[in-house]
Amino acid sequence: MTRLRDRVSAHVLVYRPSEFPAGWERTEVWAAAERIPGVTVRVDVDGAQAALFGAGTSGQVLLYDDGGRLRFSGGITSARGHLGESLGHQLIAAVVDGRDTDGATSRVFGCALAGAPQGD
């Protein structure tokens, strides 16, 4: 986001089961997401928004162009808990820079979301 924030709109959805009280989702994950420049953080009750977009794994990133076309779907870490540059970062930068990535994807390392479609 440091490199792309003026060129993308980023939203982080934090899952909260409906049977848990409002505020339950405000963990260190929420706080860490809020510290990322240019990111808007929102609660996703029962994963409704994730399901709407077809996300099946925590940590999945979806990038849409101005016309609403999905240009990237995948992860932005090279391994569970890894920080730093990854294939996902490179593909997102390429899409934002206008390079054709032909349905860019990368592996997602996270937990399955309840009720979401499951991929690899």
Tokens of 2: 């440091």
Q: What is the pTM of this model?
A: 0.78
Three-state DSSP at 116 gives coil
Taking 70 as the pLDDT cut, the residues of the chain under it are: 77-86, 89, 115-120
Tokens of 90: 């490179």
Please give the pLDDT value at position 83. 60
Please give the pLDDT value at position 32. 92
Sign of the alpha-carbon dihedral angle for 1, 23, 110, 55: negative
Please give the pLDDT value at position 20. 97
**Contact in structure between 101 and 85 (CB atoms under 8 Å):** no
Please give the pLDDT value at position 120. 45
